[in-house]
Amino acid sequence: MKLSFRNRIALFTALAAAVTIGLVFLVVYGVVYFTAYSHLDSDIRQEKEEVLHNLRWVGDSIFIEHMTEWEESEHLQIEVNPTFLQLVDADGHLLFRSTNLDKDVLLFDPALSTEAFFNSRIESQRIRQGQFPILNERNVVIGRLTVGISQEESAVVLHNLRNTLWIAFPLLLLILFVATAIAASQGIAPVQQLIRTASGISETNIHDRLPLPGNKDEIYRLATTINELLQRVENGMKREKQFTADASHEIRTPLTAIRGTLEVLIRKQRAPAQYEEKIGRVIAEVDRLNTMLEQLLQLARLENNPVPVKPAPVPLHDFLVALTEKWQPRLSEKNMELGLQIPPGAVLFADATLLNIILDNLIGNAIKYGRPGGRIDCIWQADNTVLTIRDDGPGISSEHLPHIFDRFYRTDNARSSVVQGAGLGLSIAKKLADISGIVLLVKSEHGTEVSLHFQHSF
Amino acid sequence: MRVLLVEDETAIARFIADGLEEEGFAVDVAGNGREGLRLALDNLAEYDLFLLDWMLPGASGIEICRAIRRENKTTPVIFLTAKDTVDDVVFGLETGANDYLRKPFAFEELLARMRVLLRNGDGEQNVFRYADIELDISGHRVLKAGKQVELTQKEFALLELLLRNKGKVCRRTRIIEKIWDIHFDHDTSVIDVYINFLRKKLDLPGQPSFIQTLRGVGYRVNNDV
């Protein structure tokens, strides 16, 4: 059976209360019970003392003196507060019985040698009786006295008490259950409120937040936790939106240029050289678009599929020589020099394919943004396994540094399109570095310095 | 007509400038927001229209548009931008822009929209006449006694300026500002050359020219007699 939260709380409380109340009731009943009986028993004892006061014994024989006591009405009649007396000798033969006993016999147990109290009945009356041995000087039992008094009153009291407790017990539990259920539902009302507000938040109003209660209690913590979660979701959505906006901007820009250039071109007849120049420009834009789409696809694949990383020893020097070869035309175009400060024997442990893409992007970037006529250095520090790529270009200002790994991020300088690029290369390099466990750090003071920190894993 | 184009993508700026210049506009290009803002505010009166990209390094097109609108309520502003949601369009227009073109756009559409905005208020005058000379702006042609006369873009622009201001003097500085772009090196003798071209093509032989010279000041086309 599935219980709602508030009913579960109510049930637990009711069960705990049932045990507690049950114990309390037992104690109360027990105390009343014993008080009632000890009262009766002390009455019986008193009666016994009076009887014994009127008895005398010599040897084994018991003599009963005449005493006014016997004549008292309580021994004669049975209806109102009777007191019954019965005296037997050591062998159990009846010596005396009070008038009101008639032919009924007060029970006595011959096996009992000490005084004892027990309950019995005479006709319909409930009796409390005490049985006392009568001892002579030598401590020999010479007879037994049984005193009985009505316990009707006590029994009624106890009976009523028992009934009251039996009725009160379930009633109390029921009241407690209902009250706790109400209190619990009041207690979780703020939670219900949170549920209602939170379920009303969708992507259209993701910037809404749950109202925080005044008290810094659990509900407050719950609300702040949910709000923090919402903030993270919102940030993610914002990033996604920003990405879509950036991507569409980056795709539309070359498309606009292509379309517009061609459109203006065919508005009238032109000299062949003009056609060549404009179409050359269009082809450059198509190339730019193509490069960007390639990079976007690469990023998308990186995001959607786990890339297998297969580290193996990479001979760094030969690796970089091969990699930089393809950049030679661009380097000589910008009259730049690339220096490898890498000992021929240097070996590092990495996934060659991923490392190739990372370094290709970084070196391409260094050439792109480096100073024409400047130089680029690749430096390997074997003792702390750091590979640094350094250029002596204008560098990156500190406001841009935190963003340079963002997709489509380009500094204003980079945007003014002397340098072509969509701003995806560094994102790809960063993502791949993360995947291969390489820490990528960028510093910019004089020129830009990108360092790859490899893990000591071999 | 002089236009300021603020666009950071050189490939886009180039084709717009080329295309507009072929249509007789004088086009100044600013490659970033700061330069655009400076050019716009320095030469506010000279420009007849502003073409602004939205996302620009330095200062956004929105900021430039606001700056223009603070100083000048009427000069048309068109946004050219890759931002394309309805919210963006509304926001752009509420900033004070007169029109909004989403990239990629058709150049012809840009031209058509520019012409709509450059029409003279309610009159929407598209045809200017002087004697038997007729200048049709929307048709982009000039008729002399019903026969079409071929004019270069600069000649056309010069004639348009003179006829638009019929009866008023067009000062030499104003002619330079309106018809030549900012890179022109203030040698105003080029005006005289173009005035001569116009006279050769449109004057009646043996009669005084329809364009009067006010020496050292400028030129004027008189009101019809």
Percent of chain B with pLDDT over 70: 95
Domain boundaries, chain A: 5-160, 218-303, 311-453
The answer to whether the CB atoms of A260 and B82 lie below 8 A apart is no
pLDDT in tens, A342-360: 888 888 888 888 888 888 8
What distance in Å separates the CA atoms of residue A230 and residue A206, rounded to the nearest whole number? 7
The answer to whether the CB atoms of B104 and A267 lie below 8 A apart is no
The pTM of the full predicted model, rounded to 2 decimals, is 0.58
CB A407 within 8 A of CB A424: yes
By mean pLDDT, which of A115-119, A233-237, B184-188 is the weakest?
B184-188
Judge whether B16 is closer than 8 Å to chain A, CB to CB: yes
Judge whether A204 is closer than 8 Å to chain B, CB to CB: no
Helix axes A189-199, A218-265, angle to 10 degrees: 10
Domain covering A218-303: architecture: Orthogonal Bundle (1.10)
Pick the CATH number of A5-160 from 3.60.90, 1.10.3470, 1.10.287, 3.30.450: 3.30.450
Which residues in A lie closer than 8 A to residue B18 (C-beta atoms)?
A: 264
Query: Quick one: which H or E segment has residue A168?
Result: helix A152-187
Give residue B67's pLDDT.
Answer: 92
pLDDT in tens, A48-71: 888 887 777 777 777 777 666 566
pLDDT in tens, A361-373: 888 888 888 888 8
DSSP string, chain B: -EEEEE-S-HHHHHHHHHHHHHTT-EEEEESSHHHHHHHHHHTTTT-SEEEEESS-SSS-HHHHHHHHHHH-SSS-EEEEES--SHHHHHHHHHTT-SEEEESS--HHHHHHHHHHHHS-TTT---EEEETTEEEETTTTEEEETTEEE---HHHHHHHHHHHHTTTSEEEHHHHHHHHS-TTS---THHHHHHHHHHHHHHSPTTS--SEEEETTTEEEEPPP-
Tell me A3's DSSP state: P
CB A437 within 8 A of CB A350: no
What distance in Å separates the CA atoms of residue A109 and residue B73, rounded to the nearest whole number? 124
What distance in Å separates the CA atoms of residue B79 and residue B60, rounded to the nearest whole number? 11
pLDDT in tens, B131-147: 888 888 777 888 888 88
Q: State which residue of chain B sits closest to A420, comparing Cα positions.
A: B9
Which pairs with CB-CB distance under 8 Å and at least 24 residues apart come from B137-144?
B140/B23, B140/B24, B142/B202, B144/B201, B144/B202
> Tokens 């147990």, residue?
A109
What distance in Å separates the CA atoms of residue A351 and residue A434, rounded to the nearest whole number? 12
99-138 in chain B: CB under 8 A from chain A:
103-108
Q: Is the pLDDT of residue B86 over 80?
A: yes
The answer to whether the CB atoms of B107 and A260 lie below 8 A apart is yes
Quote ipTM for the complex.
0.71
The 3-state DSSP class for residue A58 equals strand
Mutate to test the interface with B, among A246, A253, A281 (most CBs of B within 10 A): A253
What distance in Å separates the CA atoms of residue B82 and residue A423, rounded to the nearest whole number? 17
A412: confidence class by pLDDT, cuts 50, 70, 90? low
Domains, chain B, ranges and CATH? 2-119 (3.40.50.2300), 127-221 (1.10.10.10)
Closest CA to A421 of A365, A366, A375, A356: A365
Question: Nearest CB to A256: which of B55, B83, B104?
Answer: B104
Give residue A421's pLDDT.
Answer: 62
Domain A311-453, classified CATH 2.40.30.170, yes or no: no
Alpha-carbon distance B108 to nearest alpha carbon in chain A (angstroms): 8
